Structure 1
Amino acid sequence: MLEHAEISVWQDIFTSIIEDADSNILLLDEDFNIINLNSGFYWIFIETYGIELKKGTSIIESMQRVNVELTQEWKSRCMVALSGTAIKVEDVFEIDGRNYYWEIHFKSSTRPDGSQIISVFSRDITVRKAYQKKIIENEANLRSILNTIEDSIWLVNTDFELIDFNKEFFKKYKQAYGVRLLRGASILELIPEELPEVREMWRSRYESGLKGRPGKYYDTYQIEKDTRTFEIKTYPIVENGTVTGLTMYSRDITNQTRTEDLLKRQNEELIKINSELDRFVYSASHDLRAPLMSVKGLLNMIKLDPEKKNADQYLALIEKSVNKLDHFISDIIHYSRNARMDVMQKEIDFNELLQESIDTLKYMEGADKVQSIRNITVTAPFCSDYSRLLMVFNNIISNAVLYRDTRKDDSYLKIDIQVDAAKATLRFSDNGIGIPEEYVDKIFKMFFRANADSKGSGLGLYIVKGVLEKLEGTVNVQSKVGQGTTFVIEVPNLCA
């Protein structure tokens, strides 16, 4: 048994402990009478309720005089504690117009004599609540920012579990895989099982990042029937020198890539055009000057012929040179027109088109020597660029006239046209002199001539090729020397 003096000493020690405690402490007996309290609890009740708590008085009766509702709450809490269930609550108190937040713990314990004690611990958590509110606000602001970013952002931990993600990533992932993302789920297991290669690719990327190595990747995915290209960057999350996760950013660079591809194609086209322009200027100046020099020489011959006996012959030669010059200039105009004009779509009447081409060329030398055999079958309306198709017809038909076999009395050009809803197939077959095999794959080049005696400008078939490229069509040629040449042209139907 403790002596009275010893009891007094232990009570002093206990009182000192609870006075020095950070928490506000209150001890109640099972009848809610105050056994002990520290100054913190005393002053809280003074400042909040104007209640002066004293040892031996009932806290319930003291509270009853100022706040009946709060009294019932405290009595209920104490009863729960006496039943053996510890509880923790948060109360808000207003002092001088400012809210203070308190965390209060109620717990009971049993004395040696079997009676119970209720211990009440409270502490001011106003600052903590303010920080929590700030954190929540910052988190809300951060999430708002993340969700307004057009890039996809997601975070994973070392177990590949999704820590967080923004709305853009959620949307894109669902579009790509048909899967709804869940925080805490394994990002690898969310990749469909039928895509094991994709899963292993991403596993490798995540593992590399978790080793502390940032990554940069380029992927192509099918999003709503459109092929999209993404630039993906991975950044390790490092805490106290240890990698604890990864942050991923995915940016849709489809438009940028398409623009770069377009610029690349345009640059390649520009290089090609510059090269062709150099050759064009050189060859065109030579071919334009040649008939002019011929005319100039013939005029001098006429001047030197005092009796003008050969004037008619000279004039005929001048006319021939002028016609050649005119033909060459016409080809240059057609070349320029095809290069700079947009495709002008209209419904095509092939009977009308063919007749216009034949009528245009009927005064060409030798045109009357070549019989045209026509067969046109149309099963659907056909749309394309009339003027460009006329260029094709004029060049192919004029070649059949220029390169007819003069040894034959039955020169002909068979023109077969088959039109359906998808395309027009044009077949031009002649029985002319033909093209040597070694030149067949070169005839569509600018200013190509098989030999010095070639009668054309060297631009005709080059123009045909260029026109068909504009119309997204194709041309193929088959030829044998002495037997003739066949051109097969396909042009897509633009009516659809």
Structure 2
Amino acid sequence: MTLMHSSEDVLKSYQNIEYSKVHEVSHPSYIQKLRNEITSLEQERLLVIIDQLKQENEYLKYLQHQRTNQLIACMEGIILGERSAFQLQEIPEEDPFFVLFEAVRLLQGNISTIWDEQKALAEEYQRVREKSQREVETQKIHLNAILENSDTAIGVINTEGMVVEYNEQMNKLFTARDIQLEYGEPVLACIPDSLKSVWSKRISDALQGKATTYEDHFSCRNHNLVYEIKFFPIYKDSEILGSSIFIRNITQTVKTSQRLHIQQAELQKVKQELNRFVYSSSHDLRSPLTSLLGLIAVAKDEKNRDEVIHYLAMMEKSVLKLDGFVREIIDYSKNSNLEVVSEKIQFDTIISEIFDGVEHMDNADKIRKDINISGEECFFSDRRRLKMVFNNLISNAIRYSYLRRKNPFIKININISKEKARIEVTDNGQGIYPQHLDRIFDMFYRATQTNAGPGLGLYIVKESIQKLGGNIKVESAVGEGTTFFLEIPNLCPYSEN
């Protein structure tokens, strides 16, 4: 029975009741019958309506469940970024979920666009990130190459003074001293006890933000080493994270600096002496020439033969003086510029040649020569320089001899060994005042103006001996004499066997 049919039956029953009233059909049983029919029909109609409502409610529940599941699946896809994971179906406008479905479909489109943009950004970010990582790796490789190939030992400590990084040079530096660097260990544990307090203060200063530089001196395997040590605080923003430590061996730099300082001092000294030499040499060179010119002028008008001979002797003396001056300058130049040439030395021959060459000097014939050479070893050295040395020492001994003494002499003792020759040149002449002893080997220095030369002789002696790798000392007493002590290495080319 349908709902419409039941309604018509009920209406018909009501119409029958009204008809009976109009036509005065008042039989109670009839009316009651009609009322019972109406009640029965209404109940049936109500049951039908209830059944239909139940069916509609079940359908709505089913539809709600289906639509909800569809929306949940769609939203999960949106949240997970799965653009095509679930597409909402088309539903009619009269569907209760139509508006909600359309809103979600619009949201899905907007979010998909956002996801596309986000995906593009993510891909670009990944590309930039990978590029940055490659650049960082490249920079790390370059930095590591710089650190590992640097001749500077480099280390890093944290705020607790623990070792957190070091390069190979730093490792070698400590390994050479039988000390093993360990990551996470206190750097002070690697420092000698004698320097712990010093380093503790340095580390403390660095961790307080002070950049400092120090020089430390060490003795290692019979070598004196100098290290430059630098501390630099490591910052992140304004926070100190630790300190870097740079240690560099500057031994050669210090030695070079010291040599340069010495050379500069020597150059300054030579400059001053050259200035004095230029000033004095004008007189030293002109004096014998002036004397010579004067003697020539006088000799021209002289008729007496004996006087002319006397003038000629004086001229010869002036020429010899000038010649000696020029020779010393030439000897100085040769010693400065010529390399050492090793050859077999015959000391007796050299000394004999020297004495023959100084025969013209005043009183040379009045001085006794005593020469003693011992040792059977062959001796090799630079003959030219040895001759310069002996020539100057012997000439000075004659020039400053003390003729009032009963027995003036020059003694030369030479002892030859495989390693060196020990030479003593002694005279009993005028001697040298103590205040001059420290300076007699200086260039252009003159201890006396008597028989003054250019002041190069003893300077050439010392320079020549140093060129040969030897040394010279002097002892002297005024009025008693002077002794020069020489040691000159044997440059023998033969082996000891």
1:156 maps to 2:151: no
Aligned partner of residue 416 in structure 1, secondary structure: strand
1:131 to partner: Cα distance: 9.8
1:320 maps to 2:317: yes
Partner residue, 1:121: none
Give the conservation status (yes or no) of the 8 Å contact 1:283–1:447.
Answer: no
Within 5 A, what are the aligned runs for 1:214-233? 214-221=211-218, 227-233=224-230
Partner residue, 1:417: 414
Deviations 1:342-395 (A, max 9, x none): 433444343333333233334544333322222222365544432222111111
Give the conservation status (yes or no) of the 8 Å contact 1:417–1:425.
Answer: yes
Partner residue, 1:85: none
Root-mean-square deviation over aligned CA pairs: 3.8
1:42 to partner: Cα distance: 11
Deviations 1:81-128 (A, max 9, x none): xxxxxxxxxxxxxxxxxxxxxxxxxxxxxxxxxxxxxxxxxxxxx899
1:263 maps to 2:260: yes
Aligned partner of residue 188 in structure 2, secondary structure: coil
Within 5 A, what are the aligned runs for 1:366-381? 366-378=363-375, 380-381=377-378
Moved more, 229-238 or 266-275: 229-238
**Identity fraction in percent:** 36
Match 1:251 to one of 248, 261, 280: 248
The alignment of Structure 1 onto Structure 2 pairs a total of residues equal to 386
Within 5 A, what are the aligned runs for 1:274-353? 274-306=271-303, 310-353=307-350
Partner residue, 2:173: 172
Within 5 A, what are the aligned runs for 1:57-456? 139-140=140-141, 142-175=143-176, 177-191=177-191, 195-221=192-218, 227-306=224-303, 310-378=307-375, 380-408=377-405, 410-436=407-433, 439-449=436-446, 451-454=448-451, 456=453
Give the conservation status (yes or no) of the 8 Å contact 1:209–1:215.
Answer: yes
Aligned partner of residue 357 in structure 1, secondary structure: helix
Aligned partner of residue 190 in structure 2, secondary structure: coil
Partner residue, 1:95: none
Moved more, 304-313 or 182-191: 304-313
Query: Following the alignment from structure 1 to structure 2, what is the Cα–Cα distance between the partners of residues 160 and 381?
Result: 64
Aligned partner of residue 285 in structure 1, secondary structure: helix
Distance change (3 Å), C-alpha of 1:395 and 1:150: closer
Query: Following the alignment from structure 1 to structure 2, what is the Cα–Cα distance between the partners of residues 296 and 464?
Result: 33
**Aligned amino acid, residue 270 of structure 1:** L
Distance change (3 Å), C-alpha of 1:151 and 1:430: closer
1:457 to partner: Cα distance: 4.8
Query: Following the alignment from structure 2 to structure 1, what is the Cα–Cα distance between the partners of residues 453 and 164?
Result: 74
Aligned partner of residue 413 in structure 1, secondary structure: strand
Give the conservation status (yes or no) of the 8 Å contact 2:270–2:443.
Answer: no
Give the conservation status (yes or no) of the 8 Å contact 2:409–2:427.
Answer: yes
1:341 to partner: Cα distance: 3.1
Distance change (3 Å), C-alpha of 1:146 and 1:372: same
1:297 to partner: Cα distance: 1.1
1:148 to partner: Cα distance: 3.2
Q: Which has the higher helix share?
A: 2
**Aligned amino acid, residue 153 of structure 2:** S
Query: Following the alignment from structure 2 to structure 1, what is the Cα–Cα distance between the partners of residues 73 and 228?
Result: 62
Deviations 1:120-178 (A, max 9, x none): xxxxxx89996996666765554344323332221111121111111222122212x22
Query: Following the alignment from structure 2 to structure 1, what is the Cα–Cα distance between the partners of residues 285 and 299?
Result: 22
Distance change (3 Å), C-alpha of 1:161 and 1:461: same
**Aligned amino acid, residue 149 of structure 1:** S
Q: Where in structure 2 are there 5+ consecutive unaligned residues? A: 1-70, 87-125
Give the conservation status (yes or no) of the 8 Å contact 2:273–2:444.
Answer: no
Distance change (3 Å), C-alpha of 1:299 and 1:489: same
Distance change (3 Å), C-alpha of 1:408 and 1:17: farther
Query: Following the alignment from structure 1 to structure 2, what is the Cα–Cα distance between the partners of residues 182 and 339?
Result: 55
Partner residue, 1:489: 486
Distance change (3 Å), C-alpha of 1:140 and 1:228: same
Query: Following the alignment from structure 2 to structure 1, what is the Cα–Cα distance between the partners of residues 274 and 338?
Result: 18
Distance change (3 Å), C-alpha of 1:456 and 1:200: same
Deviations 1:416-443 (A, max 9, x none): 1123344322111223344455554554
1:245 to partner: Cα distance: 1.0
Give the conservation status (yes or no) of the 8 Å contact 1:402–1:455.
Answer: no
Aligned partner of residue 310 in structure 1, secondary structure: helix
Give the conservation status (yes or no) of the 8 Å contact 1:172–1:223.
Answer: no
Query: Following the alignment from structure 1 to structure 2, what is the Cα–Cα distance between the partners of residues 446 and 231?
Result: 38
Aligned partner of residue 189 in structure 2, secondary structure: coil
Distance change (3 Å), C-alpha of 1:412 and 1:244: same
Distance change (3 Å), C-alpha of 1:258 and 1:285: same
Query: Following the alignment from structure 1 to structure 2, what is the Cα–Cα distance between the partners of residues 158 and 420?
Result: 64
Partner residue, 2:103: none
Work out which of the two has the higher radius of gyration on C-alpha atoms and give 1 or 2: 2
